[in-house]
Structure 1
Amino acid sequence: MKFFSFKKLISPTGSIQGKIFVAFSLVTLIGIVAVTSIVYLYMRQTVKNNAITSVTESIRQADESLNLRLEEVSRLNTVVATNKTVLDTLLSKTEEPSYEWFQEQKRIEEFLSALIAYKPYISRVAVIGLNEKVFFVGSPWLDKNILFTPMMNDLLQNGSGHAYFHQTGFSNSIVTGRELRYNRNLIGMVMFDLNDEIIKKIYDVKPTPDSMLYVVDQKNEFIYEPQTSAIAKGTVIQLGEELAGKDGSVERVIDQKSYLVITRKSDYTGWCTVALVPMKSLLTETARIRNVLATVAIIVFIIIVIGTLQVSSRMTRNIRRLRSMMMHVMEGNMTLPTVEIHSKDEIGQLYHVFKSMVEQLKRLLEGIVTTEREKREAELAVLQAQIRPHFLYNTLNTVKYLAKLNGVPNIVEVSESLIELMRGVLGNTNEFLSLQEELQYVRSYVNIEKYKYVEPIHLQIEVEDEELLQLHVLKLMLQPLVENAIIHGLSTSAQEGHVLIRIYEANKELKIEVRDTGKGMSKAQIDALFEMNNVQTNTRFSGMGVRNVHERIVRLFGEPYGVFVYSEPEAYTTVQIRFPLLPGTERIEEEEGSRHVSNIIGR
């Protein structure tokens, strides 16, 4: 199998096979790239959406888990705030140390120990009175100095319901507290410390190993943050403030790295959870899938390119065969190769048309050879025939001179008229001549014919305008009509014959009427003049009748031009010619050529 070079295939002006190959390859490449890109983008978006859903759900569950703990602690706060033993101990006047004070401390500590039993997430519970009485269970140690700390002041200011404070330092914990009141008077505070480990356990949400999660309270204090953070705290706080109240996800570039930022605000605590997931780590698997897709796409494209090359070669094989045949014929070989194209598609149809065209061309060439041979023979015959008119002219001139010498004017007139008429017919090869020249031929013809009849023939010519004589008409257009008038009209009449030729212009047409005073014609006789089988063999000179003149005019100029006959039996016959106004030879040739082309197209 013959293959074209790749350079020729990619050339836009190359073969049809190359164009088909390039077109299929481009469409395939665009399709593969489009499908691969769509699949990759869809997978990327799917992975991203799954990550968002997973992280959001994990944060929601972490918040709900913490809220459950805080709600439980809030109920415990309420239990302490409404316990009579606690209130009576804070209101008693006992002083430390005393037996009564030890008894109070024992009762409160037993009560507090019972509250936090089996609750490992509570590291300490304390009851603090404004009278500097402090009772606590758990660790770390607590004394009356807490009354003067910022944490105590914050809890006292916000502890009408439940307040939270993130205690940092030696022991990180979340402190929640509530006011203790008696008769609407503030007498102290109850506090529960939540172990920091429970916070880490709850918020240990990591979709990827390098993702980070932060929990920030209303005062921009970090309730929870990863041990190793690649993001500055100020940036996290800024993101939390920017996305406050807008639970959802966005993509942000932080320190020239792309992160998926997911935020959620707790309705119970008002804390904002910010999760930062690096897109690079999140899409690691997607990148591997992308590479696999690219590899598969390249392999598929190579296979399709090879298949396209094979298919395009098979599709254009018949075209190449047809081209070879055309080149073979172009070199002058009219015999087609024996290899034929049997396909029934457009190429097969084109082959059969080309084959028929070559056969017809072969016949035409053979006809041209025959025509050329006949043309050479005709030229020789014409050369031989040229001798005859000259010999006839010389003979008639000799007769004319002899008639003059012998004083016979009739023979001189007939000879001159015959010479003039034959010179116009045989010597003038133009199809058109002036109306004046045509009338001169008619006069010569009448001069010859009048000697055949006993009664004289009177020819009268009336011209409306002398300029009409310069118009061009068909050669021998009037002679057959005058001949018809003399033979069929005047020859049967016993009286003198009168032939009137009237020339005038009407409706931008040249009209010529030939009127005789003969016996006239019936309608059947008029119809016979125009019949195909009515050949006027009895004409004495031209051999053309009325029908010939009519057909010549109509063939060149169409309707409504031509010959029209009007007759009244035993009265007259008028033959009218309607002819276009033709002022010059150039216009005649132009109109004749135009009508010739129109006739060919019409056929």
Structure 2
Amino acid sequence: MHKLKQIFTVKTIKRKLILYNLIIVISIALFVSIYNYISYRNATIDMLVETSEENTWTAAERLQVAYDEMLNIVLNCSERKSLFLSLTNTDYNTSSGKRFALYASQILNDYCAISGYSEYIAKITLYQKDGILVQSGYITGSYDDVPSISQSSWFQGEQDKNFNAYQLALVESPFHQASDDRLLPIIRTLKYDYDTQTASSWVMLGISTRLYQDSVDQINTDNPIYAITSEGDIIASANTRKELDGAAAIPALLKAASDSGSVKMVINGTDNYVSYTRTPQSGILIYEILPHDQLVIDHTIISKTIFLIFASCIAIGMGLSILISRKINQPIALLLRSIKTISGGDFSYNPKIEGADEIGTIGTCINQMSWQITNLLDTRIEVEKEKKDLEIKMLQAQINPHFLYNTLDSVRWMATIQKNTGIVKMITSLSSLLKNMAKGFNEKVTLEQELEFLDSYVTIQKIKYVELFDLDIQIKESRLSRAKIVKLTLQPLVENAIFSGIEPSGHNGTIHIIAESEDDILYIHVIDNGIGIPSEKTDSLLAGTEPKTAGTMSGIGLPNVDRRLKLVYGEGFGLHISSQENLYTKITIKIPLEF
């Protein structure tokens, strides 16, 4: 305790540094702890709200499927001409009338049976103006059903609704023997009813509210969840609480501009998050209420995490404080070590020994001295390097390429004078080859230029190997002559075809070069009819594991070509080898098509 008191009372530089460092570390620790707590809390709330939105969206999607199926049943009934004719001018007391009635009843039963939501169809009723009635559903039928439906206060309003966006409404059940107190009706006039003024023929389907109750019950949540109509009537609910009036959120949700999302809302004086999804066609809105004070946040984990962060910061701060206090007494030791380093031949710059005080000034002078020694050494190295460069240039001058070209030119003229066309042709080709190779290997040239360079090489090889091989070049499109290709790509492939394919075969051969394009990709095939390559060696050729043949003109093998193409164009390009022994070898160049 006494030492701690000294730290905060004695006004030495060492004590001040420790105190200031601790204040900074504690401030940072508090900031990081508070920031982490708020971030974790907000992330947890966002995750819970997002889960709630997914719950309402899933329920709404499931209910939309059921709604679409119910509409389709009503639409099929209203537009099926045979059903309308079954109700029109039919005497149900005759055998034919009974058959029509049985047919209509069977159709309704079939619609209910094939529906995946048949258990929620309370009643489907088909009616004609003379009182002819056909019904199906789990609610028992009655002769009073037609007047009960048609005289209901909601009947005309439901009949006038737009069927393309038929928004469901919750009404009292019109059936005397109903097992449900309330239903969601869908009504449509029969299409072939020509008495449109009175709408005397119609079909009604009553959807049970159990469909919505079962849907909200299936949602995996402990929070209150509701399903309401576009008029704000609650169809179903789950996990309701006395202290939380879920209906209070309805007015604001009905006015919401978007069909899905979440809003923060005050209900019964408490903050809540309300997630909702509305289906525009049916008007049904599903929403879940998340009480803000009951959000599941693991405060134990947060507390432990914050404590560990805070404790770690303090521990690191204390360690740094002790380290800094020790460093104050070490500048002289740093100078001594720096001088020993210089005496050992290391003249590197050391910024740690410089400073604004007297010791720092000495350190600056030592660094300047080290810099001057380094400059002297670098100057000496540069002089030696220049000397070696001059020696190399003198050697190069002895074999200057221009001298070689001039010599070859002189030999060519001598051969011309002596009318030795073979030597003229070979010297001309060799000169062209040397000039092209002297310019480097990695530049891009046109395919036409590459073929001209290849022609010089082939000319020399044909003179050497008389009648050994023929070269056939096919360019499928004239524009491909202007396509760009990395220089000296074809020559190693042709060289390989001659020395590794045709020459070992012991008979004359043909080398085909075919250029074509597809989907902005240039393909060049080099095909020979030599001895071929065993299948187990094709992979090792491009991997560079096969022994290299000495005496090649360019010194560039197949692996080198493949690596160059991959470096220039990417891993998806390069060479591909296919071969069959004693038949052929085909090497395909694949590169992007560019001009």
Taking structure 1 as the reference length, the TM-score comes to 0.46
Higher relative contact order (CA closer than 8 Å, sequence separation 6+): 2
Structure showing greater Rg: 1
